[in-house]
Structure 1
């Protein structure tokens, strides 16, 4: 059996640039996973933490959880893992019980990743050293900790087959990270080099958003418990495989796909004991055959061996690497007993009654004890009973779990007389504070029903019998009937009845009091199919009357991002680094139009309603906050920007002749006032033949994608068919500031500093002369790199068009300057988040890419490294770091931008508008050198711009020749 850590090291080495973890906003490559865990290893080692010592991992659900797990294992120590928000009382008990010597929380992780150097490698561990503990519900009133040894980590790894290569695929994980499932599925996924997408709890409760996200992330496999799958009627588009387990997978099957794999494991196994692909819907789903050689047997109550097919016995097997329950020797001895076949072998007794069929497949028939499972979570009734007693002061409490076709739930029972004495029973309802109980118990252990009974049932021997507690009488939870009146109320009542399998639901009936739960909520949402309605809306409304009122009033339609945008417009923000970069360059030529974007759109006067168009322009300017954004210096001298609500943006309108406009258009591109006024303006000119729409913006305020958003909004208002999406420019700025406090930002910033800041790079063509003249000159190369050829290159080399253009430019620079270490800055669009997707402002980043180019090196290897470096940059784009430039124009880096032509705006084409960029009247350069690559139908166009006063013609000719050589090399 190969060690897990050895296999993990191989995966990291082979797939270092593949994304290991993502939550849709942040990503972590396998290389970064190795780096982060190596930093945590160093920190623990320097603190003297190692073998047989426990560390608590207590963090919000994020992509750094596995880095912490791996870091602890590299140190040879053990961990217990819980997500932030776990009941504080339970956390305190766990930490004391396992004698945790340190808590790794988010602030500490942030500090470790920012301050520690990686310590690569890992401590050698013995198979019987402590590795981790999983806390499950306990029968003593407190959770009990199952102590797993490193041999169990290796057994878990052994279930995942080793292959020569692993395809790039996305696996989504939905369960809590403190369950044993986290170890099982995350080990399996990482040893298969998968990308793990962590699903948040909020997303899991919103069916429509969940579906959209799974499809956006192209998730191909996922873990869902059986209780969820029974409500999951429409699998997401790209799903090929669903893993399920922790409860019977009866009646689960998706004809035509995706495939469902039923896994059997529990807190005391630490690996998948059984795995079985469900080939149909089973009344009792098979577990399959054992994954490992475990000495699996079935034992009767008298400890004799079950051998006949179909006969039931307790499922027992050998697991040498479970030490037992922490500080519970009696329970350990009951669960781990000598085998009746060989007293020297210790058998784990699962408590599950099972049987085999003629083919040797195992099936679960039920439990021996009172333990139950709700949504795949193991629950001991005694722990809930203890929590309710502590909260209420009651002495007599009993808890029973119920399972029917569609759901599982818990009911708690109290004695009426005692409840009256404690002031908890008014004759109809029990006054139990569920919120207070949630501070003591995880959400899945909180009873759905609290029931007062005259006495608890007993058997002939006078012992209480839990299984004779009556099922809740749902009819007692109906409100006084009030019939629905509106169409939406009728729809809600009807769907309540279908989902809850009840009749005569009125508008005051509470969905959750009548047995609804989180999974039933998802079914209800799917059946209602009301756009914008979420699980939280159901939870807060609860009754048909309140849900309908909230929906019809528009409350439901509000989106959190809109609220964040409104709040963000009340605050001030520093310019982003790229905005500040342009601001500094503008200061060198304050009266120039160097960073202007002057757009002219020409439309036939006959084809446009002028009055409607002007009104659409006004609405577009009102809609987008950049028309009210100003730049200013604060008291500390920082360049800031803010939304100024007092500004009333207006568009100039003039009627004139074509001849008059021909003279006027040469004056339109003018220097823009940089401070205390909007940096964007519009004008509409009407002649006898045309309507001309002029939009002038400073690049500091907008990019190409932002321009498209503005113009799409213009035509949305003109056509009147839909309201444009909210512009989230200030929500984006606000999120950018918050990102700076995250460990991901500091880690990315550290990456760029280590890779680029302290190294000597040739980052531009070396100047031949000194000059303060900023006149721009250029040359253009029309390449044969058509779309079809670019696709072929990508298939052969994996280079994207952006990476290809960077490679051509770097190779040409290296050859021209006879330098091996060459670097440039390239423009990254940076629209990866909900805030940036709809932001009408400038979101782009400048990312460095540098590589060593040896003259006699295989060029394919150079191309591979350039591609890897660009992808590393994107992976670290959480940081807005770029190479410092204290002397603009003199020692800046070559600037590369790859873009589809700004002339190809689909919304303008659809309205037959001609697009034109007006010339720069002063020919002022924006950088010392810049490479602009435009995508055109007949091939990429390379346009190189440079300050003519700095370079000899022969130097530029040499660079052009090198560019043409490498363009041809790529084309061939």
Structure 2
């Protein structure tokens, strides 16, 4: 399916509905929904939100479970020209408070049970103006039959307008919102649809809406005639458990998007006998992929894709098609850039490193985000001008990579302290800042040990009775679950380098 640069995801979904209106689009606990019903539901959401005063350019937060109504609400928001801000139902209220204030949400779409907590989260900031709390029930969209409200023609969506804002971990202790354009999103799903053989088949939706890897599970199939299968549950673990149950059935899956850590957990749950499920395109992303993690899936999948890309470059910009020889060698590349994407490797001075030498991976092309919401200085730092092409920008990922003799890119590591854990980006500074907000902690450092996030804490003088549950509760009240360490170790002091900086390598070398 070819895509013009002037089209958006809602345009592409509407095109599928026009060509194949009765084709199944979503299958959830309520049954199957056709593309016609999906688009008509989106039109009802559009009309209802317009009646509540939502206008083009407004930000609308969505805190809904994995279900058909969520997809209809998002498409309705985009049909207006409003901006989606996904909220994770598992995040603490203080996280919601920050996001809602930072994005100046005009409305929040949620379930009835979450409405009181979200009303509390958006209160106390009158300078933002009134934030409307809406649900499917109080909008009345569920009380209209499809026949009573045929979908009106959709106004074209400006590809240069923002589609969504996703919040990622921030090194200063506060999350930062990445603003992604409709054109960047459409470019990604169109490229993925052409490269991933299972794009027109079923795709399980098991990950949170606020996780950008979920874009692959939703909008790649829905723009290519595929079918989304929401997995019940509102948090990552319940989604993974539901996915494991799904894979024990003899079903055919078109695309399964998953992180390496969750892929490994899934293989352990399924056991050595594996799964009777046939997977056409197993797309793995979110963190570095090891050969042992992918080995059990070679015989279960027609196509295995290692997809690389930070949120700032719209889900994925570099892909490698994993072959048995990659697994046998134990070296899996991140691959080559998508069509239209340019990858530059730069040393500390911005020059191109020599052959075989690592450099910072920088991205240029149509999938770049607009930058960070309300963070012009950080945007300027991370999205500097293109070194050659006037008027264009690059994104400095902070990842180190080398280019092999065959032209494929290989991930080497980071130039800073950012880490990836279970597919989630974590800035240790954010966790450490919150830890040091506890009255009993003087210093803290966070590192990864194996499959655990570990916090080293130095108690304040005279406070030697730090309880793990107390620390866990403190963090759980302030951070998303993915940022809460699984283990806490009390130490007298943190190791430092000769120049006085925290020596994380020494902590990583100590097995807790």
Q: What's the TM-score, normalizing by structure 1?
A: 0.45
Is the contact made by 2:185 and 2:314 (CA closer than 8 Å) also made in structure 1? yes
Shift, 1:440, TM fit? 1.7
1:462 and 2:500 equivalent? yes
Q: After the TM superposition, which residues 330-345 of structure 1 pair with which residues of structure 2 at under 5 Å, given as runs?
A: 330-342=377-389, 344-345=391-392
CA deviation map 1:600-626 (0-9, x unaligned): xxxxxxxxxxxxxxxxxxxxxxxxxxx
- Separation in 1 of the partners of 2:138 and 2:152? 18
CA deviation map 1:774-826 (0-9, x unaligned): xxxxxxxxxxxxxxxxxxxxxxxxxxxxxxxxxxxxxxxxxxxxxxxxxxxxx
Shift, 1:303, TM fit? 0.4
1:156 and 2:184 equivalent? no
- Separation in 2 of the partners of 1:446 and 1:69? 29
- 1:196/1:125 Cα in 2 relative to 1: closer, same or farther (>3 Å)? closer
Q: Secondary structure at the match of 1:240?
A: strand
Q: What's the counterpart of residue 147 of structure 1?
A: 179
Q: Which residue of the other structure, out of 456, 462, 467, is the alignment partner of 1:413? A: 456
- 1:271/1:446 Cα in 2 relative to 1: closer, same or farther (>3 Å)? closer
In structure 1, stretches of 5+ residues that fail to align are 475-972
Q: Which residue of the other structure, out of 227, 230, 236, is the alignment partner of 1:195? A: 227
- 1:470/1:212 Cα in 2 relative to 1: closer, same or farther (>3 Å)? closer
- 1:49/1:285 Cα in 2 relative to 1: closer, same or farther (>3 Å)? same
Q: What's the TM-score, normalizing by structure 2?
A: 0.83
1:94 and 2:99 equivalent? yes
Q: Secondary structure at the match of 2:499?
A: coil
1:58 and 2:63 equivalent? yes
Q: Which residue of the other structure, out of 251, 269, 272, is the alignment partner of 1:218? A: 251
- Separation in 2 of the partners of 1:329 and 1:191? 33
- 1:387/1:47 Cα in 2 relative to 1: closer, same or farther (>3 Å)? same
- 1:394/1:42 Cα in 2 relative to 1: closer, same or farther (>3 Å)? same
- Separation in 1 of the partners of 2:239 and 2:365? 39
Shift, 1:161, TM fit? 4.2
1:243 and 2:270 equivalent? no
Larger relative contact order, structure 1 or 2 (CA cutoff 8 Å, min sep 6): 2
Shift, 1:169, TM fit? 3.0
Shift, 1:323, TM fit? 1.6
- Separation in 2 of the partners of 1:183 and 1:468? 37
Q: Which residue of the other structure, out of 245, 264, 279, is the alignment partner of 1:230? A: 264
Shift, 1:421, TM fit? 2.9
Is the contact made by 1:135 and 1:144 (CA closer than 8 Å) also made in structure 2? yes
Q: What's the counterpart of residue 387 of structure 1?
A: 434
Q: Which residue of the other structure, out of 357, 364, 386, is the alignment partner of 1:318? A: 364
Q: After the TM superposition, which residues 507-546 of structure 1 pair with which residues of structure 2 at under 5 Å, given as runs?
A: none
- 1:102/1:430 Cα in 2 relative to 1: closer, same or farther (>3 Å)? closer
Is the contact made by 1:424 and 1:431 (CA closer than 8 Å) also made in structure 2? no
- 1:102/1:445 Cα in 2 relative to 1: closer, same or farther (>3 Å)? same
Q: Which residue of the other structure, out of 249, 262, 265, is the alignment partner of 2:306? A: 262
Is the contact made by 1:411 and 1:472 (CA closer than 8 Å) also made in structure 2? no
1:371 and 2:418 equivalent? yes
Is the contact made by 2:447 and 2:454 (CA closer than 8 Å) also made in structure 1? yes
- Separation in 2 of the partners of 1:206 and 1:41? 28
1:114 and 2:142 equivalent? yes
Q: Which residue of the other structure, out of 123, 127, 134, is the alignment partner of 2:159? A: 127
Q: Which residue of the other structure, out of 387, 392, 406, is the alignment partner of 1:359? A: 406
Shift, 1:224, TM fit? 2.1
Q: Which has the larger radius of gyration?
A: 1
Q: Which residue of the other structure, out of 272, 277, 290, is the alignment partner of 2:337? A: 290
Shift, 1:26, TM fit? 4.0
- Separation in 1 of the partners of 2:486 and 2:41? 42
How many residues are paired up? Answer: 463
- 1:99/1:443 Cα in 2 relative to 1: closer, same or farther (>3 Å)? same
- Separation in 1 of the partners of 2:50 and 2:404? 51
Q: After the TM superposition, which residues 627-642 of structure 1 pair with which residues of structure 2 at under 5 Å, given as runs?
A: none
Shift, 1:378, TM fit? 0.6
Q: What's the counterpart of residue 424 of structure 1?
A: 465
Q: Secondary structure at the match of 1:387?
A: helix
Shift, 1:208, TM fit? 8.2
Shift, 1:70, TM fit? 0.9
Q: What's the counterpart of residue 18 of structure 1?
A: 23
- Separation in 1 of the partners of 2:350 and 2:199? 47
1:450 and 2:488 equivalent? yes
Shift, 1:54, TM fit? 0.5
In structure 2, stretches of 5+ residues that fail to align are 113-134
Q: After the TM superposition, which residues 851-870 of structure 1 pair with which residues of structure 2 at under 5 Å, given as runs?
A: none
CA deviation map 1:70-127 (0-9, x unaligned): 1111111101012323211101110110111100112412333135656523333333
- 1:439/1:119 Cα in 2 relative to 1: closer, same or farther (>3 Å)? farther
Shift, 1:179, TM fit? 0.9
Is the contact made by 2:249 and 2:276 (CA closer than 8 Å) also made in structure 1? no
Shift, 1:387, TM fit? 2.2
- Separation in 1 of the partners of 2:362 and 2:90? 35
Q: Secondary structure at the match of 2:351?
A: coil
Shift, 1:423, TM fit? 5.5
Is the contact made by 1:248 and 1:284 (CA closer than 8 Å) also made in structure 2? no
Q: What's the counterpart of residue 125 of structure 2?
A: none
- 1:57/1:457 Cα in 2 relative to 1: closer, same or farther (>3 Å)? same
Is the contact made by 2:401 and 2:413 (CA closer than 8 Å) also made in structure 1? yes
Shift, 1:190, TM fit? 0.8
Q: After the TM superposition, which residues 813-852 of structure 1 pair with which residues of structure 2 at under 5 Å, given as runs?
A: none
Q: Which residue of the other structure, out of 29, 44, 61, is the alignment partner of 2:49? A: 44
Is the contact made by 2:361 and 2:397 (CA closer than 8 Å) also made in structure 1? yes
